[in-house]
């Protein structure tokens, strides 16, 4: 079958179908095994292993266009928007200590990551942008403009997201004795009642319109925060009280996990070996710092340590929000802190890049 081109995106339908089938199989296996966030981790791990070893699926190469993965992310944003209530604004007034904590955590995590990557032999520019604890796309873009090793930069930034997704559920298992997700008896937030036509219309407009408005207004991570803001507005004004069905959240986990795993396809083994160990060290240190901040802020604020730790974990905003949804912790608290983390991370990276030694200098 001839590949389809939509704009700049090339879609190979047989390869895409085979990759999604592999990801779905992995997600189902992960769920049945009781893995934390099983649909996401199962699909991610299985597809990543296939991609790293260059295996084909039903005779097809691993293929998952990035825009397809991104197109499911508004579902998460709309779901989080449904958690907004007037009481949230009263609660937010007490979040200032953790917001101030983020302003300390972000540069500290960036600095320690930079030192780890430099000690591992990375050039100053690659180490600097590879250590940015938020804003993958922005970090890679700025790093490329500054002359970083783009392949290595993409890898270590991507591994920051992957390793955080893997490590965070393990930390929660140690802290609480329960797995993240439905295997622990916790049901993923999502509606189980049939949606009315009006609800479907409102949520669809929030997802699509919210993205374009968020992009026009230059929201950080607009693909999620735009729909989130639109959904929150719709719920606060009483246009709807519905949220996306549970099965759409599960489907989103599979698509996101498959898309993340597929990113390993075609990656050079030498690049993987060089970046993996350093990324494990950097991410581990960042998570240890996040846990230390969570302990201190828990004593100061009285907020659950799980929510604070998740709010500081340097993972992707979508994936961390999915974990927050599955844990029934304050998903609004977690998501808003991650938005701030991304903004602060990118701003600091852009402001201090002039002080980084030039590669080869």
Q: Quick: pLDDT tens for 82-113.
A: 878 888 888 888 899 999 999 999 999 999 99
Check residue 5 and give its pLDDT.
Answer: 67
- Across the range 340-357, mean pLDDT stands at 91
- Across the range 263-281, mean pLDDT stands at 85
Q: Quick: pLDDT tens for 234-261.
A: 999 999 988 888 888 889 889 988 988 8
- Give yes or no for residue 170 having a pLDDT over 80: no
**Domain spans of the chain?**
74-241+261-355
Check residue 183 and give its pLDDT.
Answer: 39
- Across the range 75-82, mean pLDDT stands at 87
Distance CA 196, CA 275 (A): 49
Out of 7-11, 107-111, 150-154, the most confident range is 107-111
What's the token pair of residue 257?
Answer: 């996990």
Closest by Cα among 87, 97, 80, 137 to 335: 80
Check residue 165 and give its pLDDT.
Answer: 84
Label residue 240 left, alpha or beta by phi (over 0 means left) and psi (-120 to 50 means alpha).
beta
pTM: 0.80
Is pLDDT larger for residue 76 or for residue 137?
A: 76
State the chain's mean pLDDT as an integer: 86
Q: Which of 26-40, 129-143, 150-164, 340-354 is the least confident region?
A: 26-40
- Give yes or no for residue 184 having a pLDDT over 50: no
Residue 270: which pLDDT band, with cuts at 50, 70 and 90?
confident
Distance CA 191, CA 79 (A): 9
Q: Cα torsion at 219, 103, 285, 351 (round to 10°)?
A: 70
Check residue 313 and give its pLDDT.
Answer: 93
Check residue 133 and give its pLDDT.
Answer: 94
- Give yes or no for residue 281 having a pLDDT over 50: yes
Query: In percent, how much of the chain has pLDDT > 90?
Result: 39
- Give yes or no for residue 222 having a pLDDT over 90: no
Four-residue CA torsion sign, 15, 18, 22, 23: positive
Residue 1: which pLDDT band, with cuts at 50, 70 and 90?
low
Query: In percent, how much of the chain has pLDDT > 70?
Result: 90
Residues 6+ apart with CB under 8 A from 225: 77, 214, 219, 317, 339
Exposed e or buried b per residue across 95-115, where buried means at least 16 C-beta atoms within 10 angstroms of its C-beta: beebeebbeebbebbbebbbe
Radius of gyration of the chain measured on its C-alpha atoms:
20
Closest by Cα among 307, 313, 351, 308 to 326: 307
- Give yes or no for residue 174 having a pLDDT over 90: no
- Across the range 116-124, mean pLDDT stands at 94
- Give yes or no for residue 175 having a pLDDT over 80: no
């Amino acid at each position: 079958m001839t590949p389809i081109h939509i704009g700049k995106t090339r879609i190979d339908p047989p390869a895409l179908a085979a990759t999604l089938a592999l990801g779905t199989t992995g997600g189902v296996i992960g769920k049945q095994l009781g893995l934390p966030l099983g649909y996401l981790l199962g699909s991610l791990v299985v597809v990543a292993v296939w991609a790293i070893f260059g295996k084909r699926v039903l005779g097809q190469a691993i293929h998952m266009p990035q825009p397809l993965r991104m197109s499911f992310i508004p579902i998460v944003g709309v779901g989080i928007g449904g958690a907004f209530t007037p009481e949230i604004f009263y609660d937010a007034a007490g979040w200032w200590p953790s917001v101030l904590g983020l302003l300390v955590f972000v540069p500290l995590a960036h600095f320690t990551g930079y030192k780890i990557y430099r000690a591992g032999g990375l050039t100053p520019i690659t180490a600097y942008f590879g250590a940015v604890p938020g804003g993958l796309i922005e970090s890679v873009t700025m790093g490329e403009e500054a002359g970083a090793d783009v392949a290595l930069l993409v890898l270590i930034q991507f591994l920051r997201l992957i390793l955080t997704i893997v490590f965070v559920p393990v930390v929660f298992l140690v802290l609480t004795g329960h797995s993240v997700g439905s295997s622990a008896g916790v049901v993923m937030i999502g509606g189980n009642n049939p949606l009315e036509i009006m609800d479907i219309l409102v949520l669809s407009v929030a997802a699509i319109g919210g993205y374009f408005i968020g992009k026009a207004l230059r929201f950080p991570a607009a693909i999620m925060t735009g729909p989130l803001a639109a959904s929150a507005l719709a719920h606060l004004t009483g246009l709807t009280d519905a949220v996306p069905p549970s099965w759409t959240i599960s489907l989103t986990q599979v698509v996101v996990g498959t898309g993340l795993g597929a990113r390993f396809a075609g990656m050079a083994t030498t690049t993987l070996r060089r970046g993996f160990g350093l990324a494990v060290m950097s991410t581990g240190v960042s998570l240890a710092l996040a846990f230390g901040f969570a302990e201190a802020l828990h004593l100061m604020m009285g907020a659950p340590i799980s929510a604070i730790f998740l709010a500081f974990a340097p993972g992707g905003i979508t994936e961390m929000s999915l974990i927050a949804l599955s844990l029934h912790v304050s998903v609004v608290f977690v998501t808003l802190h991650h938005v701030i983390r991304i903004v602060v991370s990118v701003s600091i990276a852009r402001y201090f890049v002039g002080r980084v030694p030039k590669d080869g200098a």
